[in-house]
Structure 1
Amino acid sequence: MGRSNLEKEFDALEAAIHGWAKKNNVPITQEETEPTVTLSELTDEARNLKRNSVKNSRCVSVDTISPAPDGRREKKESFKGKTQLVKFRCTTYEKKLLLAKAKLCGLSLSEFLRRAAMEQATIERLSDEEIEIYQMLAKYHNNFKSIGNMFRKKSPKLTEMVYETAKQIKEHLKRFSK
């Protein structure tokens, strides 16, 4: 019986990893790594851990392992005070639509639905391109003001038109900031 495609892909991936490890002098197998440390080397006669006895790759004592992963504390704090679970039914299309709207606002689905239920405003986040355009618009406002100041004495009519354009840009930026 021939080997499956999955087995072939796995073997190819394993060969690629070993090739990369050999090229970059990174140990992969137990034989290539340093010998392991025994329990007797880590403890004294009374079986108490020796302080700073062994260092790991980050030069941190082995006995200073964090009791919880970094991400878990943050997640726990975000659920603080939220103990009740609310469920409702919707179609697949409705769920995808809700997920898309939540993503546009930069919120999780649950936070988006919570705000919608409490009738709080959910504002769509601007894309990087839109932010860049509004920054450029602010620069244009400053440039129009400078141009108006340059031609103030020579051409009052042109200056008035340029100031009006700058005023319109500023009004738009004020509406945007709200």
Structure 2
Amino acid sequence: MKRTRIEFVCSSYEKKIIKIKAKKAGLKTADYCRKSALNKDIKAILTEEQVLLYRMLIKYHNNFKSIGNLIKKKEPGLFKLTTEVANEIKEHLTNFRK
């Protein structure tokens, strides 16, 4: 497919913002503008710290699920509570990916 050039006028402030957003998404400025204009999803790249936090949340979710399964029959109230916490963590993990 042959590509053509499109240019648009913006202020230097707007240009800086576009460049910063493109960098956060791991895209070239032109690719960022193209995806934005075509209403495509543009997701920011996760920092190392965010990746570590994501992995930590996964471990917490798995731990609470395991604890819940261990006490399921002996402590139904505590099982319910640990399941709620695990589900809340799972919800945060789902939001993290968006």
TM-score, normalised to structure 1, is 0.51
Alignment partner, residue 135 of structure 1: 55
Question: Post-superposition shift, 1:155?
Answer: 1.8
Matched, 1:93 2:22: no
Higher relative contact order (CA 8 A, sep 6+): 2
Output the amino acid matched with 2:56: M
Rounded to whole Å, the distance in 2 between the matches of 1:154 and 1:167 is: 21
Which of 103, 124, 129 lines up with 2:44 in the alignment?
A: 124
Q: Which runs of 5+ in 2 are unaligned?
A: none
Question: Post-superposition shift, 1:87?
Answer: 1.7
Q: What is the identity percentage for the equivalent residue pairs of Structure 1 and Structure 2?
A: 43
Q: Which has the larger radius of gyration?
A: 1
Runs of 4+ in 1 over 4 A off after TM superposition: none
TM-score, normalised to structure 2, is 0.87
Q: How many residues align?
A: 98
RMSD: 1.6
Question: Post-superposition shift, 1:81?
Answer: 2.6
Higher fraction of helix:
2
